[in-house]
Each structure stands twice: as structure tokens, then as C-alpha cells.
Chains A and B, each alone.
Chain A
């Protein structure tokens, strides 16, 4: 089954109207266009594929049952994602206590962080070039196309993302995997623009570091 083309804002509004009128084709279009992304996020919360698919099914039922209450203050896909996250977090084993996103996001954006280990830079009191590379990055591969595109490298990326704290994981998934704009991620995850960038930075830096460990 091919991945359906993404839905733009205008189509989203039309689909919502048709859905409310009971149009099955509109429902199928939404399901086809969004289920892949929803399933990928669901998987990161629950232990098995069948449970992730249950969460997906429950999400779409929640969408149908919530249609009357949706007021259009956010985009349709933000709204659908919020329903999924609610389902997934309640079902997931990792987060039994459901801490509000805003709280978790602020927590994960706080505290010290270094994108690269401090000992890879010259110390502040170095006679020359303080805070410049002592151990600079090395090229990842002689023939990047070959090594970078293989399944094992992608598995390293997938594993690195899976290990991230919840909101960092969701932020990098929505931004870099699904290609959402920053504003929508802030909307669904209740983040400020600034915190969204901090979380994205931490997530991307950790994935880069994982690739570096694997490839050099």
C-alpha cells in the first residue's frame, strides 16, 4: 500500500466538513494520509505492534466521537495527534502518571546539556584556541552513500530516538520524521517556541552523537 500524499490546510477543512456529513471517502483519505505518522508515535509508547494498532483504532474512533466538539482552534491534524497522545500515554507502560506536556517539556529543556562531550574541546585556560576542538569530528565514511543509507545505520537512528526522554522524542519525531512546522509541534505539545528549539537541539545532538559512535 502506497503512502497517501499529505493533506494541506484547505483540504483538511474540506475533509472535516465532508466527514461531519458522513462521507466515507473523506474518512478514508484522512486515515490513509495520517495513520502512518500516528502509528509511528503510538509505537514509541506501547510494548507491541498489536497494542499500537489498537491505540490507532481507538484514536480514529475518538476522532469520530469527538467531531461535534472540535472547534477548529487548532489544525485538524494537531487535534487528531492530541487524541492519539492521550490514548497512547494512558495505554503506555512508560508513563503511568500522566504529567502535563508543558511540565515535562520544561523539565526536559532545563538543566545542563552539552551537544558534544566537554573533553573534546580545549580548556578555557588553553594558551591557544580555548574552547576550540581538541578532538574534532571525523568523516563518517569513505563512501557515505553506501554506509549511510543502509538498514543498520537507520536502526541506530531509530534506537537513539527511542531512548530519548518523552517530549524530546516526540519533538524530533514530529519535526524531523514527519516534517511538521515548529508552530504545530508547539501547539500539540504545549511548548513555547524557545523550549521547542531546546528540545529539538538536545534530541538532534544525541542522535548525531549516536551516529558518530557507530560510524567512526
Chain B
């Protein structure tokens, strides 16, 4: 496998979706190519940083309003 192919197959690799022979080619390439190992490491970093965007909470105001709406809905049901 060449580097140019690796950067296009890295997601399939991380998703466990590579056919077994392609996975072997990819892993053999990684074993000998420090640049592609760095590329893969940067992909992992990218995933970790994306996960860190998960931060926001529900504003309390909106929550009270929703609970009032829920009570109205419940009263209409009965």
C-alpha cells in the first residue's frame, strides 16, 4: 500500500470495515512508514478534539418552560 491510498482508507480501517487482505496491507505499510503513523495519530487526535465539543447543557429557563408544557399536555390527555 502507498501513503496516498492509506489516507483514503484510514476511516474504513478505524471503522473495522476493511476486507482482511486490505487490513493486512495497511498494517504492513504502517509498520514501515513513520509519516503514515503520524497521520493516523493525528486522525485520533482529531476524533478526540471533536469529542471535546460535547459541552453545552440545557438552559434552566427552557427546562421549566418544557415542564409546564408537559403538564398542559398531560392535562389535555386525561
* Set A22, A60, A193, A207: member contacting B50, Cβ < 8 A: A207
Interface string of A131-156 (1 = CB under 8 A from B): 11100110110001000110001100
* Set B4, B54, B62, B73: member contacting A121, Cβ < 8 A: B4
Residues of B within 8 Å of A154, CB to CB, are 49, 52-53
Binds B, one of A28-36, A83-91, A102-110: A28-36
Instruction: Give Cα A158–Cα B36 distance, bound, in whole angstroms.
Output: 25
Residues of B within 8 Å of A39, CB to CB, are 56, 58
Total residues of chain B contacting the partner, CB 8 A: 45
* Set A40, A179, A211: member contacting B51, Cβ < 8 A: A179
Residues of B within 8 Å of A9, CB to CB, are none
How many whole Å from A157's CB to the nearest CB in chain B?
Answer: 5
* Set B11, B57, B69: member contacting A200, Cβ < 8 A: B11
A48 interface residue (CB < 8 Å to B): no
Instruction: Give Cα A39–Cα B56 distance, bound, in whole angstroms.
Output: 8
Residues of A within 8 Å of B53, CB to CB, are 40, 154, 157-158, 161, 177
Known: A148-B45, A161-B50. A1 touches B60 (CB 8 A): yes
| Total number of residue pairs linking A and B with CB closer than 8 Å | 142
A7 interface residue (CB < 8 Å to B): no
Interface string of B38-57 (1 = CB under 8 A from A): 11001101110111111111
Interface string of B3-36 (1 = CB under 8 A from A): 1110110111001010000000000000001011
Residues of A within 8 Å of B10, CB to CB, are 115, 201
Residues of A within 8 Å of B42, CB to CB, are 137, 140, 208, 211-212
Interface string of A174-187 (1 = CB under 8 A from B): 00111100100000
Q: Are the CB atoms of B11 and A131 closer together than 8 Å? A: no
Instruction: Give Cα A157–Cα B55 distance, bound, in whole angstroms.
Output: 14
Q: Which residues of B contact A (CB under 8 A)?
A: 2-5, 7-8, 10-12, 15, 17, 33, 35-36, 38-39, 42-43, 45-47, 49-60, 62-63, 65-67, 69-71, 73-74, 77-78
The 9 A-B pairs at the shortest CB distance, nearest first, are namely: A131-B2, A201-B11, A136-B35, A35-B58, A131-B4, A176-B50, A22-B74, A121-B4, A208-B46
